[in-house]
């Protein structure tokens, strides 16, 4: 602990405060408990409760200036603000921070030294500092000695904005300034804003360098074959990429450069509600490990995490260094992918369990980013509802989706990558009528795709989405492969398929001006 002296926080204008610079796990545990942020569970992790139990995407703003005016795709999650609003809040936050206790972590975003970003995270909460230490790439002692931050995060949860005076929507705010290379966060204790804020920065910066940023997991087989898994929450991205026969590169955020795949992170941020110790033993073990941060996980009467208790939120999380997982690629680097899997949980039960995508269909599905909510997941959801999250990560993509799709298509074409759409949702009918796709069948389908066993198999085209379906796959019944054949009432299938195809077409209208006409032409026929 020491008194801050320039130039440690010179960029922020904080003249004096009590600072912990690059504190370790023991120091952060002690500080978090001392400050009343959390408690140590009987099994070892630090458990914390937060005022907000998820991100606040409607309170996120990007400063519109000469750097961003014509490069950010404004609208939706990319809401503009002014330099004046940013500077006023920065001045208020630095004044608020004077004389306070702060925690500073110097870390990297990106495992590839050519493309990584050096980040200084200044946080009011000790638990946030531990989160940053777990989730980002920690410098070596030599790298830390010469560390110069390119970006700075200032995160003060107890500082709340005045919406009327400060030009923001609520007391909570996340402001990103690409010219000043800073992120301001206030009014929320949810640590995920630190991670996703920098993820959005990487997503903006890397395409200009020819690097494709991706919200996906990645693993590699024994022969060095890399596979990428894109998918929204509930599609099985983490489960299916955690294959005992393949090494995990990372579970959430990656870049694809001319050198290959690299992980953005040094840790994992897993959703742990109802985590099954038998189905996901590696992730389960992290919830019992010293050094892990558990957000909003309830402890039982013995001080042991109860992963089935969702009384605080369904969005319970475990943040841990990736080194807590066995069977990983420790350097976080690998070659170019051989296969890409788009995962969707179709609660309408009409998409095939597995289909092969053309380049145009790949861009269309990537921009659409479809999955479906099921009844009971949110208040008022009484029937399946479509969710379209462009690029499988809409809140974190500052550029036009067509720009990311074109870059991905270039990489796919250059390296001869096969792209597959896998439905982990329902078969034989919609939610409430059909059955959830068998995880055993899904694993068999993915194994067949990754191993090349489908190279010599005949494919047939289904009429509603123009998707190519394999006629046979080892270990999977033939009637499962074609979704129409799995429905007892095939007329009902046709009606439901037309309905979903229409939803796809309606959603895609807002992207048509920014994509190649061939991509638009690949959309479903029967809207």
Contacts of residue 409, defined as CB under 8 A and 6 or more positions apart, other chains included, come to: 359, 362, 363
Q: How far apart are CA 134 and CA 24, in angstroms?
A: 10
Could you tell me if 220 and 86 are in contact, meaning their C-beta atoms sit under 8 angstroms apart?
no
Residue with tokens 């995270």: 121
- Give the Cβ contact number of residue 48 at 10 Å: 24
Catalytic, out of 20, 55, 138, 338: 55
- Catalytic residue flag (residue 406): no
CB 459 within 8 A of CB 469: yes
CB 355 within 8 A of CB 467: yes
User: Closest by alpha carbon to 363, among 390, 399, 393, 338?
Assistant: 390
- The single residue of 215, 336, 400, 406 carrying the catalytic annotation is 215
Is residue 237 part of the annotated active site? The answer reads yes
Structure token pair of residue 373: 């909510």
Q: From 190, 186, 176, 68, select the one nearest 119 (Cα to Cα).
A: 176
Task: Give the bridge partners for 16, in sequence order.
Answer: none
- How far are the Cα atoms of 27, 126, 378, 418 from residue 21, in angstroms, in the given order? 11, 11, 41, 46
274 is catalytic: no
Residue 6: how many CA atoms within 13 Å on its side-chain side? Answer: 6
User: Which structure tokens are listed for 251?
Assistant: 């579970």
CA atoms of 103 and 120, how far apart (whole Å): 10
Active site residue 68: no
The contacts of residue 127 (CB under 8 Å, 6+ apart) are 28, 32, 37, 38, 46, 48, 191, 293
Q: Is 182 helix (H, G, I), strand (E, B) or coil?
A: strand
233 is catalytic: yes
Task: Name the residue with tokens 């955020």.
Answer: 253
Backbone φ, ψ for residue 391 (5° rounding): 65, 20
Catalytic hit among 116, 237, 246, 400: 237
Sign of CA dihedral 352, 353, 355, 357: positive
Of 521, 436, 434, 431, the closest CA to residue 485 belongs to 434
Cβ distance 357 to 326 under 8 Å? Answer: no
Residue 157 C-beta-side C-alpha neighbours within 13 Å: 21
Separation of alpha carbons 32 and 47, rounded Å: 10
Q: Determine the Cα angle at 478 with ends 477 and 482, to 5°.
A: 120
Say whether 317 is catalytic: yes
Instruction: Select which of 43, 71, 233, 289 is catalytic.
Output: 233
Q: Which of the residues are catalytic?
A: 55, 196, 215, 233, 237-238, 252, 317
């Amino acid at each position: 602990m020491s008194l801050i002296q320039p130039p440690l926080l010179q960029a922020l204008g904080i003249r004096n405060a009590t600072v912990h610079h690059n504190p370790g796990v023991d120091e952060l545990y002690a500080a978090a408990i001392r400050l009343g942020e959390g408690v140590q569970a009987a099994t070892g992790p630090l458990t914390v409760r937060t005022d907000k139990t998820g991100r606040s995407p409607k309170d996120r703003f990007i400063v519109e200036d000469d750097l961003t005016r014509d490069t950010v795709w404004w609208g939706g999650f990319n809401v503009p603000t002014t330099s004046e609003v940013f500077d006023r809040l920065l001045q208020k936050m630095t004044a608020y921070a004077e004389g306070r206790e702060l925690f500073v972590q110097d870390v990297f975003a990106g495992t590839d030294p050519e493309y990584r970003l050096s980040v200084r995270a200044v946080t009011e909460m000790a638990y946030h500092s531990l989160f940053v230490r777990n989730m980002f790439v920690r410098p070596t002692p030599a790298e830390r000695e010469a560390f110069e931050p390119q970006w700075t995060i200032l995160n003060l949860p107890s500082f709340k904005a005045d919406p009327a005076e400060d030009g923001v929507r609520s007391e909570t705010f996340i402001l990103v300034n690409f010219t000043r290379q800073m992120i301001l966060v206030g009014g929320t204790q949810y640590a995920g804003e630190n991670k996703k804020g920098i993820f959005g920065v990487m997503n903006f910066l890397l395409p200009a360098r020819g690097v494709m940023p991706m919200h996906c997991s990645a693993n590699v087989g024994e022969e060095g074959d890399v596979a990428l898994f894109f998918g929204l929450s509930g599609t099985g991205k983490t489960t299916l990429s955690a294959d005992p026969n393949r090494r995990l590169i990372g579970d959430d955020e990656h870049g694809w450069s001319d050198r290959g795949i690299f992980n953005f992170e040094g840790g994992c941020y897993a959703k742990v509600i109802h985590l099954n110790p038998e189905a996901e033993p590696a992730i389960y073990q992290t919830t019992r490990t010293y050094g892990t941060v558990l957000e909003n996980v309830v402890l039982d009467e013995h001080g042991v995490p109860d992963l089935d208790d969702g009384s605080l939120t369904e969005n319970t999380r475990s943040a841990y260094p990736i080194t807590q997982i066995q069977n990983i690629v420790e350097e976080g680097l690998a070659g170019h992918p051989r296969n890409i899997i788009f995962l969707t949980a179709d609660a309408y039960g009409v998409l095939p369990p597995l289909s092969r995508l053309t380049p145009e269909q790949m861009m269309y599905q990537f921009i659409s980013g479809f999955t479906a909510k099921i009844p009971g997941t949110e208040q008022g959801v009484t029937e399946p509802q479509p969710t379209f999250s462009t690029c499988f990560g809409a809140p974190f993509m500052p550029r036009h989706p067509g720009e990311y799709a074109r870059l991905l298509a270039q990489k796919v074409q250059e390296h001869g990558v096969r792209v597959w759409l896998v439905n982990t949702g329902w078969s034989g009918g919609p939610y409430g009528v059909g059955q959830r796709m068998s995880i055993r069948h899904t694993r068999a389908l993915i194994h067949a795709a990754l191993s090349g066993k489908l190279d010599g198999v005949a494919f047939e085209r289904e009429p509603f989405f123009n998707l190519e379906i394999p006629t046979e796959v080892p270990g999977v019944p033939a009637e499962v492969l074609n979704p129409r054949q799995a429905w007892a009432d095939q007329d009902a299938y046709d009606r439901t398929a037309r309905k979903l195809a229409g939803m796809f077409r309606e959603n895609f209208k807002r992207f048509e001006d920014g994509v190649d006409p061939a991509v638009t032409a690949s959309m479903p026929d029967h809207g």
